[in-house]
Structure 1
Amino acid sequence: MSLLAGLQSLNLLLRFLLELTSLYVWGYWGYKTGNSPLLQWLLAIGTPLVVAVIWGLMGAPKAAIQLSEPVHLILEIIVFGLPVLLLVTVGKPEMAWILGSLLLVNKLFMYFWKQ
């Protein structure tokens, strides 16, 4: 395996980990913003579940519904970018910077390597 192929594989692994992290942030935000224990748990479980289903149906590489490029980018911004803002709203700006930076680097490499 060449160095480039190895780096591309690492970038895809990073993308997968960013997907999992984004879903976690959606759930964390739901738990932190709920104003009752029942609502906290409903949002903590329901929000990432809804996001995962939408991403799986329309955003994932092998999704059943293939979106046009501008619409897909909007979905990516919602699924991956919005958690950066959600981290800020729950008082985790440092984590938001880290997540946002990793997302930007990953997306740039995905674009240049046509992944």
Structure 2
Amino acid sequence: MLTVLKYTNLAVALLLELCMIAALGYWGFTTGNGIILKVMLGLGAPVLAIILWGMFGAPRSKWRLQGLAYGAFKFIIFGVAIAALFAAQQEQLAIAFIIVLVINNILLYIWHQ
């Protein structure tokens, strides 16, 4: 049973990463004046997050950060996504995201995932 919970927690971690990208895209498309700026932010912010996550956060990255640096990186990149949700006036979604993110990270730490 515990194995199922551990795999579920890893799946939730992946979903949180996808939600982080979606939050940045949502913010971008709802921010700024004019369609060009909205499209640039709506596509640019998620692409930048994907590049940064792929370089420094992905498990198989050759430049993956370790220890405190990895924790700080995750805090910053997910914090920016949460701030983007608040800026896009999606407070309830941001709070739900925070709750799931905190629980997921506690379990990742406890289970050494």
TM-score above 0.5, yes or no: yes
Superposed displacement of residue 37, structure 1: 0.4
Q: Match of 1:66, SS?
A: coil
Gaps of 5+ in 2: none
Confirm whether residue 74 of structure 1 aligns to residue 72 of structure 2.
yes
CA deviation profile, 1:7-29 (whole Å, cap 9, x unmatched) = 00000000011000000001111
Decide which of 11, 14, 25 is 1:13's aligned counterpart: 11
Moved over 6 A (4+): none
* TM-score, structure 2 as length reference: 0.94
Confirm whether residue 52 of structure 1 aligns to residue 50 of structure 2.
yes
Decide which of 23, 36, 39 is 1:38's aligned counterpart: 36
Superposed displacement of residue 68, structure 1: 3.1
- What aligned pairs does 1:102-113 form with structure 2 within 5 A after superposition? 102-113=100-111
Residue in structure 2 matched with residue 94 of structure 1 by the alignment: 92
Superposed displacement of residue 61, structure 1: 1.1
| Structure with bigger RCO (C-alpha 8 Å, 6+ apart) | 2
Question: Aligned residue pairs: how many?
Answer: 113
Segment drifting more, 63-72 vs 20-29: 63-72
RMSD: 1.0
The share of aligned pairs that are identical, in percent, is 31
In structure 2, what residue type is equivalent to 1:22? Answer: M
